[in-house]
């Protein structure tokens, strides 16, 4: 903190200049009077100097300007209202703006900066890929969200200077016009730039697979499916090529991969069936799940394959849901390639390695990569400025979502952030004494359950284990058994079978905490988490106050740290059926769950306009089917 304050002081004491950034050859400094720092200052940059995929330092971006680029540190004008700059227009940012009060402009100047001028309702993206939904039904212009509350600039942030509290943003290259870069000062920066696709270093993924993260990805897949069927339907198409064209591979057995496979199956067998009856026998949809047991019986005469590394799909859901989805896919002819990793991808072929270790190739007409996320380049560049930032995927924050090392001037939410979690093992002795209520040097399972429930208020990752223990869940029992076996000669351990009468010594208790901490994970990168974080930060801004002396946002003293409230998980599995994993209710699946899923996805839309459009799309699809045109 002292180092950052010293840098601020040094920047403030530095000479004031009209040109605050290096100019291209032949440029000149402005002769105009200095402008207040509250205005976004346009700087027109050479398109080949700024890359949208690689974050750069503020002063590394060559620009040509005739307008003052005065920084916050140089400004002599006292600001009436603090400026809040929000980066991104995803779930967290959209829900943040929606939750802001209508009179927020009286307290703050709020600005959204994002290269995408719309919010995308991602859970229905698989439905867009086959025409169940039209793309404009699940997007909402961000200007509708910021109207009356702030301003919006369509630009991508290229660099952040946390010392001078300013950033450089540029009009996106893919918009079809020349880049226009500008500097904008901030008092409070909220980062919600999300994440990027993760190929895990698998060769050929970026070149030959289709990612599934944006509306452009969904449209590309929709066109690709149509192209594959039309090409396969041509006369004299060789049988081998026809089978290859009609092979659809989805890498990843999570909710996205499962829903993409289900939607493709519905599209093929509900809408394309009448138009290409002679091709249906060659259609194969494969889902490759990248996780742990093998189901060789699924490889016989199946039509759709899911490649998954686990022993069942939807591995983060209740086991019964994974088993139901497995049976549903098996009946539909979707092939699950389980406990398998992708070795490489080349044009038209994906190489996979099953548990046996014998690598083989699967041909495809289209391969969708729906697994894994990686750090946004902007976050990676920001981490280099803060030694406290050590997370491999996101910006590390405290429990109030303040970025570690930023002295409270930068906040982050959504996929771009990870809350730093305290580890219970560091206080094992204290927790053991707290659990050992009768002071006999042993902790029974009932005492352990009570401890985990109470300690979860401070160590949130203990909560799920407390629930598992209460329900005598085998998953927790196995964890406990392995922890104890590790301290008592394996097979000879008297604790091989965990019963209510079992008791733990302090060493066994520490071994258990170590096992639990080793599985410590960040909050899932889901829309549900981002939505709650956006709403939480809006509440912090509403109830908190801006410290004019320290130049940071101070949360209200009664403001509690962010706590994620998991409301359940759901996924569509085809045939108008869905699966739902609801806390305190349990797994729900089948046609009834499908009706509930459609109802939830309809009324969870961010605006009434989107709700009505989604309802009309459900009705249109049911009455008239999906549009099979390639447009």
CA distance 343 to 346: 10
Sheet holding 569-574, edge to edge: 569-574, 577-582, 586-590
CA–CA dist 329, 266 (Å, integer): 12
What element of type H or E holds 80? none
Q: Are 210 and 85 in contact (CB under 8 A)?
A: no
Residue in 589, 575, 573 with CA at minimum distance from that of residue 321: 589
281, 547 in Cβ contact below 8 A? no
- Report the C-alpha gap between 155 and 169 in whole angstroms: 6
CB 288 within 8 A of CB 305: yes
pLDDT value of residue 19: 38
DSSP state, residue 547: E
Measured distance CA(581)–CA(559) in Å, rounded: 30
pLDDT at 442: 83
Q: Encode pLDDT of 470-510 as tens digits.
A: 654 444 444 554 444 444 333 332 223 345 556 778 888 78
Q: How far, in Å, CA of 189 to CA of 82, rounded?
A: 11
Q: What are the φ and ψ backbone dihedral angles of 44, each rounded to 5 degrees?
A: -90, 120
pLDDT of res. 381: 92
- The candidate with the shortest Cα–Cα distance to 348, out of 240, 452, 264, 266, is 240
Note the pLDDT of residue 520. 59
By CB atoms closer than 10 A (0-12, 13-18, 19+), residue 565 is exposed
Location of structure tokens 């080793």:
518
**In this structure, what are the phi and psi dihedrals at residue 597, rounded to the nearest 5 degrees?**
-60, -45
Q: How far is CA 566 from the centre of its chain?
A: 15
> In sequence order, which residues have a C-beta less than 8 Å from that of residue 102 and are 6 or more positions away?
148, 149
Distance CA 223, CA 129 (A): 9
β-strand partners of 197: 373
Q: Are 330 and 323 in contact (CB under 8 A)?
A: no
Q: Determine if the pTM surpasses 0.85.
A: no
User: Nearest-CA neighbor of 162 among 324, 5, 391?
Assistant: 5
Which pLDDT score, from 0 to 100, does residue 291 have? 43
pLDDT at 11: 47
Q: Specify whether the CB–CB gap between 355 and 339 falls below 8 A.
A: yes
- Largest CA-CA distance found in the chain, in angstroms, rounded: 85
pLDDT at 288: 84
Taking only Cα atoms into account, the Rg of the chain, rounded to an integer number of angstroms, comes to: 27
Ranges of the chain with pLDDT below 50: 1, 4-5, 7-9, 11-37, 42-55, 62-79, 291-304, 472-478, 481-498
Show the tokens assigned to 543.
């109830």
CA distance 254 to 327: 16
Instruction: Supply the pLDDT for residue 459.
Output: 75
**Are 500 and 445 in contact, with CB atoms under 8 Å apart?**
yes
Instruction: Give the pLDDT of residue 519.
Output: 56
Distance set, CA 38 to CA 75, 251, 360 (Å): 9, 47, 60
At which residue do the structure tokens 């030694």 appear? 387
Q: In which element (H, E) is residue 230 found? A: helix 215-232
What phi and psi values does residue 127 have, to the nearest 5 degrees? -70, -30
Backbone φ and ψ of 289, nearest 5°: -95, 125
Q: In angstroms, rounded to a whole number, what is the distance separating the alpha carbons of residues 203 and 220?
A: 21
Beta bridge partner(s), residue 304? 334
Closest by CA to 435, choosing from 409, 462, 413, 411, is: 462
Paired tokens of 556 = 């209200």
CA distance 581 to 267: 26
């Amino acid at each position: 903190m002292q180092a950052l304050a010293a840098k601020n002081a040094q920047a403030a004491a530095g000479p004031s200049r009209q040109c605050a950034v290096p100019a291209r050859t032949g440029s000149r400094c402005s002769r105009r009077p200095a402008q207040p720092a509250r205005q976004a200052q346009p700087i027109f940059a050479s398109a080949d100097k700024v890359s949208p995929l690689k974050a750069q330092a503020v002063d590394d971006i060559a620009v040509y300007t005739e307008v003052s680029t005065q920084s916050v540190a140089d400004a002599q004008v006292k600001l009436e209202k603090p400026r809040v700059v929000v980066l991104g227009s995803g779930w967290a940012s959209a829900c943040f703006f929606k939750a802001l009060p209508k009179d927020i402009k009286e307290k703050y100047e709020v600005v959204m900066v994002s290269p995408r001028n719309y919010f995308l309702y991602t859970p229905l993206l698989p439905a867009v890929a086959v025409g169940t939904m039209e793309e404009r039904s699940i997007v909402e212009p961000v200007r509708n969200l910021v109207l009356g509350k702030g301003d919006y600039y369509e630009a991508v942030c290229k660099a952040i200077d946390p010392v001078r509290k300013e950033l450089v943003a540029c009009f996106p290259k893919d918009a079809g016009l020349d880049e226009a870069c500008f500097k904008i000062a901030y008092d409070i920066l909220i980062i919600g730039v999300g994440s990027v696709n993760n190929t895990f270093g698998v060769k050929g993924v970026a070149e030959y697979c289709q990612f599934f993260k944006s509306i452009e990805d969904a449209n590309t897949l929709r066109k690709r499916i149509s192209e594959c069927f039309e090409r396969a339907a041509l006369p004299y198409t060789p049988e081998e090529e026809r089978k290859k064209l009609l092979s659809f591979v989805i890498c990843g057995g999570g909710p996205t991969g499962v829903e993409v496979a289900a939607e493709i199956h519905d599209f093929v067998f509900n809408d394309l069936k009448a138009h290409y009856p002679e091709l249906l026998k060659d259609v194969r949809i494969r889902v490759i799940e990248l996780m742990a047991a093998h189901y060789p019986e699924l490889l016989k005469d199946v039509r759709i394959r899911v490649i998954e590394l686990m022993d069942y799909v939807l591995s983060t859901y209740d086991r019964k849901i994974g088993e139901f989805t497995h049976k549903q896919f098996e009946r539909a002819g979707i092939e699950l390639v389980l406990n398998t990793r992708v070795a490489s991808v080349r044009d038209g072929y994906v190489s996979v390695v099953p548990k046996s270790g014998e690598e083989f190739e699967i041909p495809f007409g289209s391969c969708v990569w729906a697994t894994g996320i990686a750090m946004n380049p902007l976050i990676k560049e920001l981490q280099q400025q803060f030694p406290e930032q050590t997370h491999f995927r996101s910006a590390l924050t405290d429990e109030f979502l303040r970025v570690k090392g930023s002295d409270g001037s930068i906040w982050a939410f959504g996929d771009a952030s990870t809350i730093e979690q305290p580890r219970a093992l560091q206080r094992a002795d204290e927790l053991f004494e707290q659990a050992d209520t009768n002071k006999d040097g042993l902790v029974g399972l009932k005492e352990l359950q009570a401890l985990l429930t109470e300690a979860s208020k401070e160590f949130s990752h203990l909560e799920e284990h407390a629930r598992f223990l209460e329900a005598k869940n085998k998953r927790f029992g196995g964890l406990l058994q392995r922890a104890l076996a590790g301290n008592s000669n394996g097979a000879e351990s008297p604790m091989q079978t965990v019963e209510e009468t079992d008791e733990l010594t302090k060493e066994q208790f520490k071994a258990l905490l170590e096992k639990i901490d080793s599985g410590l994970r960040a909050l899932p990168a889901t829309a549900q988490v981002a939505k709650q974080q956006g709403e939480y930060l809006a509440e912090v801004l509403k109830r908190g106050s801006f410290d004019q002396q320290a130049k940071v946002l101070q949360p209200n003293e009664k403001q509690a740290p962010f706590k994620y409230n998991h409301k359940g998980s759901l996924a569509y599995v085809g045939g108008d059926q869905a699966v739902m994993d609801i806390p305190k209710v349990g797994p729900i699946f089948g046609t009834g769950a499908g009706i509930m899923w459609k109802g939830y996805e309809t009324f969870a839309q961010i605006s009434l306009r989107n709700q009505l459009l989604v309802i009309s799309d459900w009705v249109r699809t049911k009455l008239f089917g999906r549009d099979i045109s390639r447009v």
